[in-house]
Amino acid sequence: MQHDIYIYLLLMSAMTLAIRILPLVLIRGEIRNTFLRSFLYYVPYVTLAVMTFPSMVEATKSPLSGTAALLVGLGLAWRGASLFCVAATCCIIVFVTELFL
């Protein structure tokens, strides 16, 4: 079975354009619904979290070390630690945990 790559590229570009153009065409005015506005506000954060959190756990040799670093990092970030402090501490947690596992 032979596939034509240009058909795939055409379909992919059509879907990408449709996803970007249809909201601009269909929604002309300001969105006043508070639920929809808050939903659209948090979509980028949720998307980033969905892509990032599983990678944190699976990027290490043992999922236990990734989970430990994730929990410690969340706790430090919750307490207001800087990004550098959170990242460095998570790296140290993974290193130490991997030594003992």
pLDDT tens per residue across all 101 residues of the chain: 577 899 999 999 999 999 999 888 888 888 889 999 999 899 999 999 899 888 988 999 999 999 999 999 999 999 999 999 999 999 999 999 999 98
Q: pTM for this one?
A: 0.62
What is the predicted pLDDT for the residue at 74? 94
Q: Are 89 and 53 in contact (CB under 8 A)?
A: no
Please tell me the distance from the alpha carbon of residue 19 to that of residue 16, in angstroms, as a whole number: 5
Give 50's Cβ-side CA count (13 Å radius).
6
